[in-house]
Structure 1
Amino acid sequence: MDARVEDTAIALAVDLDGTLISGDLLWECVFLLVRANPLYALMLPVWLLSGKARFKHEVFSRVEIDPACLGYRPEVIAFLEEEKRKGRTIVLATASAQDKANQIARHLGLFDRVVGSTVDRNLKSDAKRARLLADHGDAGFDYVGNSRDDVAIFEAARRAYVVAPDRDARNWADAHGGAILFDHGQTSLSDLARMLRVHQWAKNVLIAVPAVLAHTIFAPVTMLQLAGAFFAFSFLASAVYIFNDLFDLSMDRAHPTKRHRPLAAGRIDPPTAIKVAFGLISFSVLLALMLPWEFGVVLGLYFVVTSAYSLKIKRWLLLDVLTLAGLYTVRIIAGMAAVSAEPSYWLLAFSVFFFLSLALVKRYVELDKATISEKQRLTGRGYRPEDKEVIAQAGMASGFSAIVVLALYLDSAAVYSLYDQPWMIWPICPLVLYLIMRIWILARRGEFNDDPVVFIATDWRSQIMIAFGAALMFGAGMVEFNAL
């Protein structure tokens, strides 16, 4: 019997999670469930105590999936299509729920049979091996898998195909000559940095603003406090970004640029991402414990609000941009708490208007680049194309309001008490106006693609304006700086 005939007589069983799709359907459904109703997070440990099979049933039975939005591996799909043309029997064998596996099978149209988990049976590892042996006999099937749980099935299969393997599956393949269909290699530092969105840490330099304005930035103790606060916020923010990406996996996969993010693209699996997120939270808490307790309170508030934003608020019209403006302002409040600085209501008022303008420009750009018709909402947002002009007007008005607040502050008693030559800092008003208007002009031209705060922190023209403003403040307050 030649190899072709032999192959067609042998069933080909395919795992789902990490193999046919790059993600894990159970984890995706857990996050969909919690996003729909955060109170379900309290029920997850209760269900888990009843066993994994029951846990899966409770989660899967409450979530609807769109099979078209899963992260299928194109190499595996192409391989299955070729084997299907040869006349092979293709079996989807998964530890995910039977009904969800049936939906995926109907969508792809590749599988002759589907076996999955039920309310009283978790079809994983040894249980899956037993089922396949019962259906096909010893070495009566080939198997495509990816993880440690698949090693027992590899041992029973006639031939093993190893896809994007974890460490155990890779070691087995190396020892037994398993054919690797697709191997994206180990997670790289670049993948990790992109998942953490390290470039977004630039936003957290706002923590230093109160110390700069109070002229205490160069004190050694203050610099240490600000460094600790910066990394505490950065670590926590990255953890929130990870959870946000997990909640939005299906939407990110349909997005023209977000689909390249490590989680959406399957470069990093959800369990690894969750471990990293909790590690970052732990480091953030440790740093917060070294700072004044008020900073810890602000950090906790930031975590609660950002989590609420990721779960619900970012889908609500206008409340999303107001929350974003508030979160930027919270960073400034955290800076005050970290160095025990007196609160400045001028600074907070300016911050709210300034960052509201930047939040609105972010929504404007999203609407401008969206390919949707009128009356249709932007995916995951509360906005429609006809809102674009109102957003632009509100954003510009908010930016000018920030300038008004700044101008009033520069003529206040606080400025005269802090600066020896207060008239020197008046040019800051047109400098800030330049920053705001330039961002909006670029946005209206369709030439703005970045987070506005990150843009300001990295754009060389904006950096020149900021440096010029800092020089003016330093010159105007020379007496106070020299007295440190």
Structure 2
Amino acid sequence: MTEMKPLVLDVDGTFLRTDLLFETFWAGLGHDPWATLKAVARNLRHPERMKAELARIAPLRLDLLPVNGEVADLALKSRLAGREVILASASDRTLVEPLAAEYGLSPRVFASDGSTNLKGAAKAEALVAAFGEKGFDYAGDSTADLAVWARAENAFVVGRLPSARALSAHGRNVVEIGNGWDWRALVKALRPHQWVKNVLLLLAMIAAHRFELATLIPILWGIVAFSAAASSIYIVNDLLDLEADRLHPTKCRRPFAAGDVPIPVGMATVAALALLALAIAFALNWAFLGVILLYMALSLAYSLKLKRMRWIDIATLAALYTIRVIAGAAAGEVDVSIYMLIFIFPIFVTLGCVKRLTELTLATSDERLPGRGYGRGDRGDLLNVSILGTIGALLIFFLYSISEQGRELYPTTWILWLAMIPMTWWLIRMVLLGWFGKQDYDPIVFAMRDKLGIGILMITLSLMFWAAGLWGQWFGG
């Protein structure tokens, strides 16, 4: 009986819907950023050494990596038919060998080893040396695989690669396997629903009663800049959180965790969005540029380290929300009251606690949240801090109402006190909804969609306008 030729599978972008080099890079950044960056800088001209060093810095959960379903089915059918299925990859051997073992594939693998980068022609030579010319079938996904397909019996082309179709003219049997990515998945990764949080840039203008177009237009441009900056950081956060997201019941469907968008595409998008945000900021004014740089730096620190630190993460979230208000003041060149900043910070601390309360309530186990420092035993402490934040915000609002600046902007003080009633209702309601897990993972996004909550906020704002005498100015009487 004639022995069946082995089926050789590339790993990155073929067997897996991701790339092990980029997986180890981002896992390394999350685990030990300085060691990771040094490993990359030292080995830019020696990719085989870079791959080996990155693989050592932060071990990957190979069982969580997204697999290409069609290629996995092909591998299973080949194994059931008695055919040897072998992984051949430019990724490091210390990752490829356990990956093959995880999925029951042949223990014989071909991979980079710290001294040889097994890619393109080098991979082709290794396979021909082992199996002979046309002694194997090969599945790959990139132009680097053309050298291997040229020496294989049959070519399995994963994804849209027009240049590979020329193989059929040279007598190769070409089988195409779908594995492309959809731009709509990239749009989802930008989290456009989160842009609604940037309406916070309008708060300084509203509080100062500066409703002219000359103030509004630069703030709207500021919202565009913050949306671009925020989306760039969301992608960075997703890339740093790949393993934690894959362990999460819903976040596992995020585009990068699921392998729906290639990591290099995400990295290019981060660069483009960051440049757009900085260009708009530079065009507005130096103050706004400084604020957006602070926002991006603090957001990056949050993604890299601070979000894993109990209580520090909540304070950082509150600071990031507060920075948006400062940014609106800088973009519109509006004076922002220190009372306002002291007032909104504890509100955002409360909402940060609500975010964690919601996550813990909706968690499916008593273990600590992946990538976070909280477990279900912390719910009581989070509730207490959220109540303290609510009380603090209301106390500061009251003190503002009797301050010189408050009386100047809001002459009818008793109406301003009346506005504290719906304000208190809204805050307590948000805390309770988080406690019972009845809202979104992001309280700001939830608040912008919550019809009852929006109604309560509109009542509060209407009372504040009444206290300021704005209704009379606008409509007479």
Q: Does 1:93 align with 2:85?
A: no
Question: What is the match of residue 447 of structure 1?
Answer: 438
Contact 1:425 1:472 in 2 (8 A): yes
Equivalents in 2 of 1:367, 1:412: separation in Å? 40
Deviates more, 1:431-440 or 1:314-323: 431-440
Say which of 200, 206, 209 aligns to 2:203. Answer: 209
Equivalents in 2 of 1:389, 1:297: separation in Å? 38
Question: What is the match of residue 361 of structure 1?
Answer: 354
CA positional deviation for 1:410: 2.2
Equivalents in 2 of 1:167, 1:458: separation in Å? 42
Question: What is the match of residue 380 of structure 1?
Answer: 371
How far does the alpha carbon of each residue in 1:458-479 deviate from its partner, in whole angstroms, 9 at most, with x for none? 1111222233333333343328
CA positional deviation for 1:258: 0.5
Question: What is the match of residue 459 of structure 2?
Answer: 468
Contact 1:28 1:247 in 2 (8 A): no
Question: What is the match of residue 33 of structure 2?
Answer: 38
Question: What is the match of residue 148 of structure 2?
Answer: 153
Question: SS at the partner of 1:87?
Answer: coil
Question: SS at the partner of 2:116?
Answer: coil
Question: What is the match of residue 65 of structure 1?
Answer: 60
CA positional deviation for 1:63: 2.9
How far does the alpha carbon of each residue in 1:429-466 deviate from its partner, in whole angstroms, 9 at most, with x for none? 12221221222222233322331001111111122223
How far does the alpha carbon of each residue in 1:222-246 deviate from its partner, in whole angstroms, 9 at most, with x for none? 1221012111111111111111111
In structure 2, give the amino acid aligned to 1:427. L
Q: Does 1:193 align with 2:187?
A: yes
Question: SS at the partner of 2:150?
Answer: helix
Contact 2:48 2:92 in 1 (8 A): no
Equivalents in 1 of 2:426, 2:94: separation in Å? 54
Question: What is the match of residue 25 of structure 1?
Answer: 20
In structure 2, give the amino acid aligned to 1:287. I
Question: SS at the partner of 1:178?
Answer: strand
In structure 1, give the amino acid aligned to 2:452. R
Equivalents in 1 of 2:469, 2:145: separation in Å? 67
How far does the alpha carbon of each residue in 1:292-327 deviate from its partner, in whole angstroms, 9 at most, with x for none? 211111111111111111111111111111111111
Equivalents in 2 of 1:428, 1:154: separation in Å? 72
Kindly tell me: are residues 186 and 32 of structure 1, through their superposed partners in 2, closer, same or farther at Cα, counting changes over 3 Å? closer
Equivalents in 1 of 2:215, 2:120: separation in Å? 55
Question: What is the match of residue 457 of structure 1?
Answer: 448
Kindly tell me: are residues 459 and 251 of structure 1, through their superposed partners in 2, closer, same or farther at Cα, counting changes over 3 Å? same
Deviates more, 1:260-269 or 1:52-61: 52-61
Question: SS at the partner of 2:57?
Answer: coil
Equivalents in 2 of 1:138, 1:478: separation in Å? 84
Kindly tell me: are residues 74 and 419 of structure 1, through their superposed partners in 2, closer, same or farther at Cα, counting changes over 3 Å? same
Question: What is the match of residue 127 of structure 1?
Answer: 122
Kindly tell me: are residues 102 and 480 of structure 1, through their superposed partners in 2, closer, same or farther at Cα, counting changes over 3 Å? farther
In structure 2, give the amino acid aligned to 1:478. L
Say which of 310, 329, 345 aligns to 2:338. Answer: 345
Equivalents in 2 of 1:177, 1:405: separation in Å? 74
Question: What is the match of residue 407 of structure 1?
Answer: 398
Q: With structure 1 as the length reference, what TM-score do the two structures score?
A: 0.92
Contact 1:14 1:91 in 2 (8 A): yes
Equivalents in 2 of 1:334, 1:213: separation in Å? 14
Question: SS at the partner of 2:364?
Answer: coil
In structure 2, give the amino acid aligned to 1:29. T
CA positional deviation for 1:362: 0.9
Kindly tell me: are residues 169 and 414 of structure 1, through their superposed partners in 2, closer, same or farther at Cα, counting changes over 3 Å? farther
Q: Does 1:233 align with 2:226?
A: yes
Question: SS at the partner of 1:255?
Answer: coil
How far does the alpha carbon of each residue in 1:31-87 deviate from its partner, in whole angstroms, 9 at most, with x for none? 111222222354255224332222222222333222222222333223212211111
CA positional deviation for 1:171: 5.6
Contact 2:181 2:262 in 1 (8 A): no
1:295-374 to structure 2, matched below 5 A, reads: 295-373=288-366
Equivalents in 2 of 1:47, 1:22: separation in Å? 28
In structure 2, give the amino acid aligned to 1:394. V
Equivalents in 1 of 2:471, 2:427: separation in Å? 31
Question: What is the match of residue 388 of structure 2?
Answer: 397
Equivalents in 1 of 2:335, 2:77: separation in Å? 69
Question: What is the match of residue 258 of structure 1?
Answer: 251
Equivalents in 1 of 2:338, 2:110: separation in Å? 63
Kindly tell me: are residues 258 and 64 of structure 1, through their superposed partners in 2, closer, same or farther at Cα, counting changes over 3 Å? same
Kindly tell me: are residues 172 and 259 of structure 1, through their superposed partners in 2, closer, same or farther at Cα, counting changes over 3 Å? farther
Kindly tell me: are residues 227 and 142 of structure 1, through their superposed partners in 2, closer, same or farther at Cα, counting changes over 3 Å? same
Equivalents in 1 of 2:455, 2:283: separation in Å? 35
Equivalents in 2 of 1:93, 1:126: separation in Å? 13
Question: SS at the partner of 1:109?
Answer: coil
Question: SS at the partner of 1:379?
Answer: coil
In structure 1, give the amino acid aligned to 2:383. A
Question: SS at the partner of 1:91?
Answer: strand
CA positional deviation for 1:397: 2.2
In structure 2, give the amino acid aligned to 1:199. H
Aligned CA RMSD, in angstroms, stands at 2.3
Q: Does 1:277 align with 2:270?
A: yes
Kindly tell me: are residues 125 and 477 of structure 1, through their superposed partners in 2, closer, same or farther at Cα, counting changes over 3 Å? farther
Equivalents in 2 of 1:117, 1:108: separation in Å? 20
Question: SS at the partner of 1:215?
Answer: coil
Contact 1:11 1:91 in 2 (8 A): yes
Kindly tell me: are residues 345 and 382 of structure 1, through their superposed partners in 2, closer, same or farther at Cα, counting changes over 3 Å? same
How far does the alpha carbon of each residue in 1:405-424 deviate from its partner, in whole angstroms, 9 at most, with x for none? 22222232212212354543
Equivalents in 2 of 1:42, 1:188: separation in Å? 29
Equivalents in 1 of 2:223, 2:33: separation in Å? 29
Kindly tell me: are residues 309 and 43 of structure 1, through their superposed partners in 2, closer, same or farther at Cα, counting changes over 3 Å? same
Contact 1:314 1:381 in 2 (8 A): yes
Question: SS at the partner of 2:441?
Answer: coil
**Paired residue total:** 472
Equivalents in 1 of 2:164, 2:464: separation in Å? 59
Unaligned runs of 5+ in 2: none
